[in-house]
Structure 1
Amino acid sequence: MMKTFDSSLSRRQFLGSTAVTVLFASTPDALARSISGRLPWSPFAANPPTAVRPGPWLFFTHDEAVTVEAIVDRLIPADDLSVGGKDAGCAVFIDRQLAGFFGSAERLYMKGPFTKGTPQQGLQSPVLPTERYRAGLALLNEYCRNTHAGKSFVELGAQEQDEALQGLEQGSVNLGGSDGKAFFELVLQNAMEGFFADPIYGGNKDMASWKMIGFPGARYDYRDFVTRHNERYPLPPVSIMGRADWGGKG
């Protein structure tokens, strides 16, 4: 993960430093699979992923949604390599995750005591992801209005948006007692997950990020390519859901 948000960094530098980490880190849904029934275990007893369908926002209000879309577009701006975070569906991914068990942390241990852990231990807090997003977005817009003549985050120019995000990351933006740095890190992590995760979860629209980095996706058979080293994989990526040109069958 990048240490400092810098709008001057190229997309290739940004994605090159994050793609491997996120691709091999499961999404919250994948991490939280549970085995149903009693022993002995049987195949297909786990909770399968449910494909995200187009539709209205499930967690975000309209104002929250457009703010998140603006944020992910600054974290992952569009360029000649691929679409930006908004068009890739990162905000949709985050919305659906917050509307599910990730948002309520129902499959995480959430009892105290809560102490400040090391960076390797991650965030330790009783604040739910839904609460952190709702408060963080509201306080970010309040900060922007107070410092930019009444303009919300989405009304700012790209440079001003970057400065606000840099302030959150560095801890110099005061969100009224809320942990702005933790909010930034959560949004950044979720944006990367939405950009690189399987499209079944609502992000990575049209497998844009996979096409960009040459990731083959969920193909079941690589025997013809095992010994072909230092050669770009020639076939298009495949989602868990399959490909549209397969008639919807994976």
Structure 2
Amino acid sequence: MVNEKKGVSRRDFMKTTGIATGTLIGGGIIGGLVGYNVNRDKGTTNTTGNQKGNNSSGQTADHPVNVGLKFFSTMTAFNVLSQATERIFPEDDIGPGAIGLGVPYFIDNQLAGAYGMNAKEYMQGPFADGATTQGYQSRLTRAEIFTQGIAKLDEEARTRYQMGFAELEPEQMDEILTAFQKGEVEMLAVTSDFFFKLLRQATLEGAYADPIYSGNQNMEGWKMKGFPGHQMSYIAQIENEEFQKIEPQSISSMTH
């Protein structure tokens, strides 16, 4: 049984977001996760004795030190991103959260490439406020939206609590993320709820993408869902009527 002090469990997360059935609930994660999760422990001590969040070196704890950043130019912005993704996909007794899965590095890599530049999408005007069902409507690229959104997260934290976002208590982060999810924070050429949707989507993609894209570290995201990853073949298992538990495999580990 999940410790009550942990707040929302991984199973609750799956139920709330509809991930277990392969869909996402239109209302989003907020309400089922951020906000509801305010009773989580203030920090989780790692093997070095540091708590997750900012440390004296300026780097977020538990991040692999041999992985460089491709998009973010400062650790301050990267730490804001890291803590925001961790509140959306938190660690619990079932498995690691966004930071442990390397999600911030996944997003950093994506923003530095075609995803961040909207390279494969039509980005010409005219630009008008569209309905929520119309998808991407902003004149800004994802890279520009994330840059502005992360700066706004930090700005909102300093306005409300006179501290940077990554230095806040979990319930304070949740309060600010909830304001973004509700579209209450003013942004330029984009709404804060649209930025939150991009952040939430990228967080989930980073948790479950193939590890070659820098997220889903050690395939832990797949292991939590019992997903086998990329197998060369299922010939040995396909006729077996019993449930088969298969160790997941990444594209990078496949032989040719």
Q: Is residue 216 of structure 2 the alignment partner of residue 238 of structure 1?
A: no
Query: CA 1:218 to 1:20, structure 2 compared with 1: closer, same or farther past 3 Å?
Result: farther
Task: Point out where structure 2 has 5 or more consecutive residues left out of the alignment.
Answer: 1-5, 24-65
Q: What is aligned with 1:13? A: 12
99 and 210 in structure 1: CA distance in 2 versus 1, 3 angstrom threshold: same
TM-superposed CA distance for 1:62, in Å, is 1.2
| Among candidates 185, 191, 194, match of residue 197 of structure 2 | 185
Give RMSD over aligned pairs. 2.2
Question: CA 1:21–1:123 in structure 2 vs 1: closer, same or farther (change >3 Å)?
Answer: farther
Instruction: Please report how far the alpha carbon of residue 84 of structure 1 lies from its aligned counterpart in structure 2 after TM superposition.
Output: 0.9
1:106 aligns with 2:119: yes
Candidates 58, 70, 76, aligned match of 1:58: 70
Deviation of residue 166 (structure 1)?
1.1
1:218 aligns with 2:217: no
The letter for the 2-side match of 1:18 is I
> What amino acid maps onto 1:237 in structure 2?
P
Q: Is the 8 A contact 2:138 2:189 kept in 1?
A: no
CA contact (8 A) 2:211 2:219 kept: yes
What's the TM-score once normalised by structure 2's chain length?
0.74
What CA distance in whole angstroms lies between the structure 1 residues aligned with 2:122 and 2:169? 40
| 1:81, distance to aligned residue in structure 2 (A) | 0.9
Q: Decide whether aligned partners of structure 1 residues 240 and 138 sit closer, same or farther in structure 2, where only a CA change above 3 A counts.
A: same
Q: Distance in 1 between matches of 2:166 and 2:178?
A: 16
Task: Give runs of aligned pairs for residues 87-126 of structure 1, distance below 5 A.
Answer: 87-126=100-139
SS of corresponding position for 2:106? helix
Higher RCO, 1 vs 2 (CA within 8 Å, ≥6 residues apart) = 1
Shift of 1:174: 3.7
Listed as ranges, the gaps of 5+ residues in structure 1 are: 1-6, 23-53, 244-248
Contact 1:196–1:204 at 8 Å: present in 2 too? yes
Residues 177 and 164 (structure 1), Cα distance of their counterparts in 2 relative to 1, 3 Å cut: farther
Decide which of 157, 163, 170 is 2:169's aligned counterpart.
Answer: 157
What is the TM-score when the length of structure 1 is the normalising length? 0.75
Q: How does 1:33-44 map to 2 (within 5 A)?
A: none
| Aligned counterpart in structure 2 of residue 206 of structure 1, from 189, 200, 218 | 218
User: 1:78 maps to which residue?
Assistant: 91
Provide Cα deviations, 1:93-117, integer angstroms capped at 9, x if missing partner: 0000011111111221111222333
